[in-house]
Structure 1
Amino acid sequence: MLRELHLTGDPAADKLLNDDPFALLVGMLLDQQFPMEHAFAGPRKIADRMDGFSLAKIAATDVETFVEMCVVPPAIHRYGGSMARRVHALAQHIIENYDGRTEGIWLDGRPKPDGPEVLKRLRALPGFGEQKAKIFLALLGKQRGIQPKGWREAAGAYGDRGSRRSIADVTSAETLAEVRAFKKAAKAAAKSG
């Protein structure tokens, strides 16, 4: 089931995430040490500065030129320079490995990739580790209708029905608040334990 994404609180930023799988992937990349909704609004900031959002255009832009564009206030991230380099590397990776088709990560191959294979491919992306890959797999399954066999198990707890653990569970301002509360409680538990 394809669900209309409401991750940023900004209809134009959410439309870009709905329309462009690379924009959604970039939002996930930026989702660290930065509020979730601001991270997922990053692709819109890039689009505004590049006269449109294009994976090919990002990859073809000189990396230092791209970094300069991304750090202009309001920067795409609190760590704008290092994150811009990661976005650029991600674009190049997708061009080199998936012919510039982000969807190739979860669609390409015979047989079609299953959940563990998609997770493996996500982990191989620049800037993606185990947790980020699992969250993105859960986001694909829960909100984009991309549900390869075994995706819930591969996504771990992030794939659980009804959970409020991550951006994969954000569908409204209310669920965003619930995810924030969960993360805050998990952080407090980690500090006290």
Structure 2
Amino acid sequence: MDITIRLSQQPEADALLGRSPLAALTGMLLDQQVPMEWAFTGPYTIAQRLGSDDLDAHEIAAYDPDDFAALLSAKPAVHRYPGSMAKRVQQLCQYLVDHYDGDPAAVWRDVGSGKELLDRLNALPGYGKQKSQIFLALLGKQLGVTPEGWREAAGSYGEEGSYRSVADITGPESLDKVRAHKQEVKRAAKKA
């Protein structure tokens, strides 16, 4: 995997997201209760603090939990809730070690259908239905992972030409469109 991604809006962090399946999965995991750019910069920050240019599921899963929490908590923190997110990142990595021998791309490699991929994503720690659908849409729209029925499995996030989520962000202009969509959804929810 070596794809151009522009989710963090920082070249080094985006380069890692484009070449590392674990970085992409981790960024998606971190994408809650913080600005999207902050979440998707997180994998790069973690890699740098580990003294590496990539992330390794075996290494992170085996890391001392207190030390890993401290690593994510160092200023600037990787997330608004670095301790709880450190635990979630380690749970994700342990799951990948246990079920995919630490190979995050195996989650989507050789899947038979979009539904099967969605089921695999839903099984990941920290991934609920919406996060799984968004990541599935990101895989299909930007990373070339397009098993039969992937758009349907991704729900509205899989729609072509939409600007609903990180799956649709390819640069600053599309980021603005996604933000505008999210603001409109919030306004509509307030009215309801």
TM-score scaled to structure 1, two decimals? 0.95
Give the deviation of 1:37 after TM superposition: 1.0
Segments ≥4 residues shifted beyond 2 Å = none
Query: Is the CA contact (8 Å cut-off) linking 1:107 and 1:113 kept in structure 2?
Result: no
Give the deviation of 1:113 after TM superposition: 2.8
After TM superposition, the structure 1 = structure 2 runs for residues 17-166 of structure 1, keeping only pairs within 5 Å, are 17-52=17-52, 53-108=55-110, 112-166=111-165
Mapped to 1, the partners of 2:173 and 2:81 lie a distance apart of 28
Give the deviation of 1:55 after TM superposition: 1.8
Count how many residue pairs are aligned between Structure 1 and Structure 2.
189
Query: Is the CA contact (8 Å cut-off) linking 2:114 and 2:148 kept in structure 1?
Result: yes
Query: Is the CA contact (8 Å cut-off) linking 1:119 and 1:134 kept in structure 2?
Result: yes
| Residue identity matched to 2:119 | K
Moved more, 48-57 or 136-145: 48-57
Give the deviation of 1:74 after TM superposition: 0.7
The runs of 5 or more residues in structure 1 that have no matched partner are none
| Residue identity matched to 2:41 | A
The runs of 5 or more residues in structure 2 that have no matched partner are none
Residue deviations 1:59-107, cap 9 Å, x none? 1101111111101111111111111110010000000001111111111
Percent identical: 52
Mapped to 2, the partners of 1:132 and 1:28 lie a distance apart of 7
Mapped to 1, the partners of 2:33 and 2:112 lie a distance apart of 31
TM-score scaled to structure 2, two decimals? 0.96
CA RMSD of aligned residues (A): 1.1
| Residue identity matched to 2:58 | A
